[in-house]
Chain A
């Protein structure tokens, strides 16, 4: 993003201005005085612009009552903006969007720019006179005071006709114009009317009437000479014409207007009239017009810290083109930015760059861009074409300091003394225009690349949103302090021509609204050459007047480095390497290492690592494609799916917690003691040499190793072919655990060639999950705990592993550290290394198997750097979720407690072929299977082993799991009353959903699947749609029906009268039905739209989630829209909800008084108990307890006398919802976003 230096300065200046600010007078005082003190008027212009803007915002957005009051509030614009937002929200629900229309927010005034009028006659540069007390005089209505040639903006004063007034005194001066750009036409009107109402006192800049001229509608017939300058070559008419004269100003905030930048030009003409003593005779004229026609256009937004381009392709009117600052910030936080480096450099720096200007009149598509010679001819013939070309290059190069002179001096303005300054500024604007035009073209190219025009009329691009930020190369600039970059000369330079180059524009941020788009674009464009046809802005063409007719140029871009930078999206902050250890105590990289690194080779930025695949480390073997893709998929489903047995969080004695998720099988690895927990025959665990059995609470008894047979003996009898066959069947039937067991067995039998080895005794499996950005500190696996030979299988996402050779390694160090256990200095399984000598990087591709043995096992530390990208042989790879299987052989202790000495005797196998594995289930079955009982010898067909659950098994996947019954259905039934009662507290309707509903055509039939107590019914009805809600909880539906009742009551009540006519026609009363969301009792293709809010996160299996989406897809007509929302794992920082895993139980504190009534009605049996309880004083206390006892999932909080229910929730990771949707045929994702802790997906049924 391009930081708008001006804005920064603006902020910095705030204090000063507040100090001197006697209200609006600050404009004059500050600006003029400063202007006087320096000789370069350009600086004044900039200062004035800023001051004007600030004052405008202050005055106009605080109600414009009086300048003194507004200045006294000194509220920062942002604060005001927020407050206004708050009011809007408070206004609530339906009317909220409209309510905003009345207000004007500070950021509705986007910018106030000085526009230089073309001087019709040369005059001396602005005579800036200081006049103290001037403000007062003018504020009082002029009092006959002649307003002198004080041009507020350091512009020339041009004798001009007074407009509005009959006085034809030719002594009047026209002056520069201040162009105020607002976000909406509506805002423009407000600005104008407020200015008028204030008598243009704000800042005493404006005097006289203000007229809004919108299109031709309110055109003042007193046409003035200072008509708007077309420096933007704005297309007059356009939307302005369409909207002209209509009172129906549309507010883009509410209804998604199509307006982006409208420019108001406020032209001040007044002085002569004032001289004549007339009050308000001067005319400040406001013109609004579109900056550019067409769908895509740029908006110049000064409040955000960048000049931004934004595109919403498609024209369905649903998207808000201009955005508030809050909105912008939100979008920025959600947008994945593709960072394109040196894009433009290839255009502008190399001579081979192709900027081809072609004559517009040539028509058709000429092939000039194909033929260099022809190009040469082309601009060889026309000098201005060549100069245009160099001008273009210069613009991007940032060296466009001296504009080529207009080739014809037709208006003779070259000789004006102020010419330089004039040009300085307009040049800057032209420069911007060209860049914007370039960005427009690039954006179009992106959207067409992403969304090739297909048959579908409506979705041709409206699901792609692109934002582009151009970033200047700041290398040449000392820093933020210089404002020369954008707005004119550097502050120390009085010569306004020789300003320092503003920097080369050679970088881009391309923001895509979701990861999918960004990834797709990355894939498509990486290293590609892209040809753009850029339409030249009229302002530029005007500059080269003689070359007229040139309207476009071609640019070729080679995207050299394209990578997705969403680090700051996923992680709270980009962490530097030094910070990492703090959040991952257990990894605890050696301190010495950090010191010695000195940045030597350690990448300071996560992007710039380099990696080679061919690294020789003795003992390291990498087997590519050890597992097939099918196997990988099946394994991932089991190991990373919703029911994976993640280990309970382990903490280290130092208080750290292990951030990444792990699973242990066979034996638990105890991070605190850096050792495996060994069990004795009685199942008691032992930690290290401590023979007193560690009190392991049963829940931490880890699941056994998955095995393909009931006993080791049977397994050992199986041939390799049997094993492979087993795996094949398991994969075919998508039985993840079986596949895992098979893979383990395959690994046991795998013979490595070079350090000829085999690892038949593997008895421990650790599954690590690394989400992008996670890593592990440098370590060597505990020597005493595991035997030689560590096997690591990488699934799903490749990663670069870093190896560092231990230097001061001696034979004793191992044992030293091993004996050091008691000191607990190192609370992890890593052994600190004082120094390292070599550093090698190995890329572990997905589905690979890596063996660490010998030196690689004992003398090299390995680690994974915490970052989100890896560079492998020059290509930047985005890390994906990586699940690694670490297979190790845990060793038994030998020699008792005194001598902590391990032999190479592996611990016995602890395994089971009964799936799924679960923690804390030292089941007899597993134990029995574990003991190699010979009587268990019956040949068992492994495939017929009963499977209680298999994630991909369709049928069993759809059965309502006990979890949901207990922790979802029952809970909502029980708490329905309180749920409904606290509906207000649960917050307003999500704006996304309400907006979705509002945008539906009136009279739509909408299904609200999982409607609960009908939270959205009113919104749907307000949008004049008919809703049919379903929910599985009947008590909740009764609450929804109560909504119905209220609506019924409203029919003839006073409230009903307040409803608009439209809303009355489709009455508020909704229809409800008890139903399961995965078996919707609704006919296919009978709904115009469906919403499914906060339902998906209560479904506990992938199959059920997909089924739910499929059902939604089924009931909605083709072309209909579906809005799905679910809780996000990534909660906002200030949210009170924090989720530490994807599948969690969220407590709900229920008060007994609600429970009494909500649960009792249906159940007379319990009613008796309750009545008994109620009769027994003290009331309530007993009740709560009884209720709590009744529900197995509930607990009784005796202190607060509450019943605490636990609701099961699955928190969706970013992209997970989209991935699910992708699996449902017929659903097309239009938009996915994140809103207040929820992931929102907008789908279309195709």
Chain B
């Protein structure tokens, strides 16, 4: 489960309706981090161009996704996976910074939680992550 995926998750139980944040990552037993900018690593005649284009798209994607992110949750989640380099908040200048956006893309897309546990802050409900798949199923009585 990418951090981006994690970031759009939410506990939909009625008891947790007070929060819109994703459940916290409380356990991470297996993590996978993909090669940074793997797509640009392969050789080719137009390697540079390709890498440039890829990089530009990554930046674009990060910029596009940034507004929908729950930044605090992302910082927390990244921290739980051992990435503590994210700034606590994103200023306007930062949001336009290409280097930052590239790094953000990397964090969002290339860092995977393979096995672990998510815990809802409000209700304490736990959602297991196995094999990269998070099980967010609720019981009937938990639904509103």
Interface of A toward B, CB cutoff 8 Å: 958-960, 1002-1005, 1024, 1026, 1028, 1030, 1032, 1034, 1037-1038, 1041, 1044, 1051-1052, 1057, 1061-1062, 1064-1067, 1071-1076, 1079-1087, 1117
Sample of 6 A–B contacts (CB below 8 Å): A1004-B64, A1026-B61, A1034-B133, A1066-B61, A1082-B12, A1117-B68
Q: Which residue of A lies closest to B143 (CB)?
A: A1079
Contact assessment for B9 and A1083 in the assembled complex, using a CB-CB cutoff below 8 Å: yes
Give the distance in Å from the alpha carbon of A706 to the alpha carbon of B98 in the complex.
70
Task: Choose one: A1051, A1082, A1085; the contact of B9 (CB below 8 Å).
Answer: A1082
Nearest CB in chain A: distance from B124 CB, A: 16
Interface size class of B (residues with CB under 8 A): 35 or more
Residues of chain B lying within 8 A (CB to CB) of residue A1028: 5, 8
A723 CA / B46 CA spacing, docked (Å): 83
B71 to chain A, nearest CB (A): 13
Q: Does B116 contact A (CB under 8 A)?
A: no
How many A-B residue pairs have C-beta atoms within 8 angstroms? Tell me. 111
Instruction: Mark B57-69 against chain A: 1 for CB-CB distance below 8 A, else 0.
Output: 1101100110010
What string of 1s and 0s marks CB contacts (under 8 Å) between B119-130 and chain A?
000000001000
For B1, the chain A residues whose CB sits under 8 A away are 1071, 1073
Q: Is the CB of A1061 within 8 A of B54?
A: yes
Q: How far is the CA of A46 from the CA of B61 in the complex (A)?
A: 58
Specify which of A1002, A1041, A1082 is in contact with B8 (CB 8 Å cutoff). Answer: A1082
Q: Given contacts A1065-B54, A1073-B134, are A1079 and B12 in contact (CB under 8 A)?
A: yes
New A-B pairs, 15, CB < 8 Å, besides A1057-B42, A1074-B133: A960-B140, A1026-B61, A1026-B109, A1032-B137, A1038-B131, A1041-B131, A1065-B54, A1065-B58, A1074-B135, A1074-B136, A1075-B136, A1081-B10, A1083-B7, A1083-B10, A1083-B21
Least CB distance from A1057 to B in Å reads 7
Q: Which residue of A lies closest to B110 (CB)?
A: A1067
**Partner among B61, B64, B70, B135 whose Cβ is within 8 Å of the Cβ of A1073:** B135
Distance from B67 Cβ to chain A, minimum over Cβ atoms (Å) = 9
A1073 to B113 Cα, complex, angstroms: 13
B132 in contact with A1041 (CB, 8 Å): yes
Q: How far is the CA of A1005 from the CA of B136 in the complex (A)?
A: 19
**Roughly how many angstroms separate A1038 CA and B4 CA in the complex, as a whole number?**
20
Contact A1079 B39 (CB under 8 A): no
For B6, give the chain A residue with the smallest CB separation: A1071
Residues of A close to B20: CB separation below 8 A: 1083-1084
Contacts of B22 in A (CB 8 A): 1083
Listed from nearest, the 4 A-B pairs whose CB atoms lie closest are A1081-B136, A1071-B5, A1074-B135, A1065-B57
Q: How many Å lie between the Cα of A1026 and that of B38 in the bound state?
A: 17
Of the candidates B54, B68, B140, the one whose C-beta lies within 8 Å of that of A1064 is B54
Q: Which residues of A contact B127 (CB under 8 A)?
A: 1081
* CB contact under 8 A between A1064 and B39, given known A1034-B135, A1083-B8: yes
Interchain CB contact under 8 A, A958 and B135: no
Tell me the minimal C-beta distance from A1163 to chain B in angstroms: 16
Shortest Cβ distance from residue A228 to the other chain B in the assembled complex, whole angstroms: 42
Complex: A1083 Cα to B11 Cα, angstroms: 8
Residues of A within 8 A of B61 (CB): 1003, 1026, 1065-1066
Q: B138 an interface residue at 8 Å Cβ cutoff? A: yes
Q: A1038-B131, A1038-B133, A1065-B54 in contact; A1081/B11 too (CB < 8 A)?
A: yes
Whether the Cβ atoms of B70 and A1083 lie closer than 8 Å is yes
Q: Which residues of B contact A1051 (CB under 8 A)?
A: 38-39
- Looking across the interface, which residue of chain B has its beta carbon closest to that of A1075? B136
Contacts of B10 in A (CB 8 A): 1081-1084
* Chain A residues positioned under 8 Å from B140 (CB to CB): 959-960
Chain A positions within 8 Å of B64 at CB level:
1003-1004
Q: Which of B38, B57, B134, B135 contacts A1003, CB < 8 Å?
A: B57
Min CB–CB distance A1001 → chain B (angstroms): 8
**B76 lies within 8 A of chain A by Cβ:** no
Selected contact of A1080 from candidates B5, B12, B39, B132, CB within 8 Å? B12
Contacts of A1075 in B (CB 8 A): 12, 136-137
- Contact assessment for A1076 and B54 in the assembled complex, using a CB-CB cutoff below 8 Å: no
Determine the chain B residues whose CB is within 8 A of the CB of A1005 once the complex forms. Answer: 4, 8, 65, 68
Residue in contact with A1052 in the complex, picked from B42, B57, B132, CB distance below 8 Å: B42
Mark interface residues in B10-27 (1 if CB within 8 Å of A CB, else 0): 111100000011100000
Asked if B53 is an interface residue, CB under 8 A from chain A, the answer is yes
Which residues of chain A are within 8 angstroms of B54 by Cβ–Cβ distance? 1061, 1064-1065
- Of chain A, the residue at the smallest CB distance from B128 is A1074
B5 touches A1073 (CB 8 A): yes
Q: How far is the CA of A1028 from the CA of B132 in the complex (A)?
A: 12
Answer yes or no: B50 CB below 8 A from chain A CBs: yes
How long is the Cα–Cα vector from A442 to B39 in the complex, in angstroms?
Answer: 53
> What's the least CB distance linking A1033 to chain B, in Å?
10
Closest to A1003 in B: B61
Cα A1034 to Cα B133 in complex, Å, equals: 9
**For residue A1064, which residues in chain B have a CB less than 8 angstroms away from its CB?**
39, 54
* Selected contact of B68 from candidates A1002, A1081, A1086, CB within 8 Å: A1086
Q: Which of A1024, A1026, A1044 has the most CB of B within 10 A?
A: A1026
Residue of A959, A1051, A1082, A1083 contacting most chain B CB atoms (<10 Å): A1083
Q: CB-CB < 8 A to A1026: which residues of B?
A: 4, 61, 109
Q: Which residue of A lies closest to B65 (CB)?
A: A1005
User: Roughly how many angstroms separate A958 CA and B143 CA in the complex, as a whole number?
Assistant: 9
B5 and A1061 form a contact (CB under 8 A): no
- Contact A1073–B143 (Cβ < 8 Å): no
Pairwise interchain contact B39-A1087, C-beta atoms closer than 8 A? no
- Least CB distance from A1089 to B in Å reads 13
Could you say which residues of chain B place their CB within 8 Å of the CB of A1037?
Answer: 133
Asked if A1072 meets B133 with Cβ closer than 8 Å, knowing A1002-B57, A1066-B61, A1067-B39, the reply is yes
A1084 neighbours in B (Cβ, 8 Å): 10, 20
Given contacts A1038-B133, A1074-B135, contact A1003 B60 (CB under 8 A): yes
Taking CB atoms, residues of chain B closer than 8 Å to A1117 are 68
Contacts of A1080 in B (CB 8 A): 12
Which B residues are in CB contact (< 8 Å) with A959? 140
Cβ B39 vs Cβ A1065 within 8 A:
yes
Which B residues touch A1041, using CB under 8 A?
131-133
